[in-house]
Amino acid sequence: MSKPLSLEKILHSQGFGTRRECRALILDEAVSVNGELCTDPTAVFDTSGLEFAVFDEPWPYREKSYIVFNKPAHFECSHKPMHHPSIFSLLPEPLVQRGVQCVGRLDEDTTGLLLLSDDGQFIHRMSSPKWKVPKTYLVTTKHPVNDDLIAQLKDGVLLHDESEPIAALACEQVSEHQLSLMLAEGKYHQVKRMVAAAGNRVEQLQRTRIGQLQLDANLAEGDWRWLDPAEISPA
């Protein structure tokens, strides 16, 4: 349920700086609410459906952030990257400041669907092995896909350091060198290791689906959008 908040608190909650910095933005005539300039930091607004702008950049009020992002290759899912730029360098600074985190990570060279949020319960619900939210990947292989490869992945392959075989929830051929692979787990390099254990090699990897959420065909690599409320459910 939404609640009335002062404009200073609204900006602070949305990642626009400290309370003092947000107050300064308002006093400097940098903030408008629902299209009207507001210079009073203590002015109170109902946050339900609230739209404001900072330096003419529109921003919707969100109590919690739920983001879908199309990750490009050669970016790390970390605030402290080691060898490549961080995906957080591609996001607006307010999202970074309010502390959005990756809902499970993708390898540096893996592209595709990535969720980010500052809602700890949502992150746990979508990423914890306990809930087994399925993830689907488009896998490009070095050698041609054949029936034996698909059968092994569906029946289960034994990975190094694992005591039991791991099987795909679903696996089907897409083209001569591509297959669609659905997994319930999210183990380290799992897709690459499973395909290698079945006698092939992953050349490219793209995550296309998490639960019922499909990667947008019109969302370019490096772009993001807000999740609609109906999309937040993992079902």
Q: Cite the active site residues.
A: 107
Question: In terms of C-beta density within 10 A (0-12 exposed, 13-18 middle, 19 or more buried), how is residue 48 classed?
Answer: exposed
d(CA 147, CA 88) in angstroms, rounded, equals 40
Q: How far apart are the first and last CA of the chain?
A: 23
d(CA 181, CA 192) in angstroms, rounded, equals 11
d(CA 109, CA 205) in angstroms, rounded, equals 8
d(CA 35, CA 83) in angstroms, rounded, equals 43
